[in-house]
Amino acid sequence: MTSLVAVLVPLVVTAALATSALTLLFTRSPRTALPVLLDLLLAAGLLRLSVTASWQAISSAALVVAIRKVVTLGLSTGRAAAQATSTRVSR
């Protein structure tokens, strides 16, 4: 099991980088690409956590979750502000 996870974690990280880069390339939207990257990095962190329940693994998974929450909140706040601005300009 440990050797399988040791192989899967780098693959998931590579998939995260490639998939988010392709998402950014095709959508031209960091708002769409960044959650893809963070979700797959979280998956890699949780895989690593399943084998080594060390404090370093737990803290890295918690850090990815916290970053994802902050980024998602920031993107949704920015989107709401942009929509409010465009509504005022168009009137």
Under the phi-then-psi rule, with left for phi > 0, alpha for psi from -120 to 50, and beta for the rest, what region is 28? left
pLDDT at 62: 84
DSSP 28-56: --HHHHHHHHHHHHHHHHHHHHHH---HH
Give domain limits for the chain: 2-90
Average pLDDT, stretch 68-72? 83
Q: Are 27 and 33 in contact (CB under 8 A)?
A: yes
> Which residue in this structure is represented by tokens 């993107």?
75
Give the predicted TM-score (pTM) of the model. 0.67
Indicate if the pLDDT at residue 5 is higher than 80: yes
The Cα 89–Cα 42 span in angstroms is 39
